[in-house]
Copies of this chain bind each other. A is one copy, B any other.
């Protein structure tokens, strides 16, 4: 039950499952597409993350099938995964926007310390 923020590979996994269920290898390809080729997820990361996410109840095995003699497990985003993804997305968005504001030179939302100096 770690409340720790999702790391990027995990975030991409949930995102890749957000539109439709996919199997492991398909997730690798989808993440490649989402990230415009910048993230090539390794199987070591993938199956470790899938196990973890299954255990946390964020995803579930929708079905198992055999296509062209090759076995597949098809994973789907569970409702807990959907709300977690939504929450993480909102949180990340606010961090990203704050960073952009500061990079643009504008001082924003974050309160300045009370005993502030010159």
Q: Does A89 contact B (CB under 8 A)?
A: yes
Which 9 residue pairs across A and B have the least CB separation, nearest first?
A: A18-B102, A33-B110, A15-B99, A19-B102, A5-B8, A89-B99, A34-B110, A33-B111, A93-B96
Measured in the bound complex, the distance between the Cα atoms of B99 and A34 in whole Å is 10
Q: How many protomers of this protein does the assembly include?
A: 2
A: interface residue count bin: 35 or more
Q: How far is the CB of A108 from chain B (nearest CB, A)?
A: 8
B92 A96 Cβ-Cβ under 8 A: yes
Measured in the bound complex, the distance between the Cα atoms of B14 and A96 in whole Å is 11
Measured in the bound complex, the distance between the Cα atoms of B5 and A19 in whole Å is 24
A86 B103 Cβ-Cβ under 8 A: yes
